[in-house]
Amino acid sequence: MAHDRYDFACALAHKAGNLAMEYFRKLDTLTITSKGHQDLVSEADRDVETLIRKELQPAFPRRIVARAWHR
């Protein structure tokens, strides 16, 4: 079971990293907004978090997944 979780985590990290790299390669067009005073969030932040949450929720339905950026 622990091995399955490790494999899942590695695959998800690669998937999220690939998405983040897509945004990194086009930094000049990245949309960045303010959540508050000196608190910025980019579309990359939001989209990577959304991807991770969408993958985690069905895999671990009885776990609570906290939000970091979305408000």
47 lies in which domain range? 2-59
16-66 per-position pLDDT tens digit: 999 999 999 999 999 988 877 888 889 999 999 999 999 998 988 887 766
- Residue 44 falls within a domain, yes or no? yes
CATH code at position 40 = 3.30.540.10
3-state secondary structure the chain: CHHHHHHHHHHHHHHHHHHHHHHHCCHHHCCEEEEECCEEEEHHHHHHHHHHHHHHHHHCCCCCCCCCCCC
Whether the predicted pLDDT of 4 surpasses 70 = yes
Total domains in the chain come to 1
Q: Could you give the CA distance from residue 33 to residue 12 in angstroms, rounded to a whole number?
A: 26
- Residue 19 falls within a domain, yes or no? yes
Q: What pLDDT shows up at residue 6?
A: 94
Q: Could you tell me the pTM of the whole model?
A: 0.80
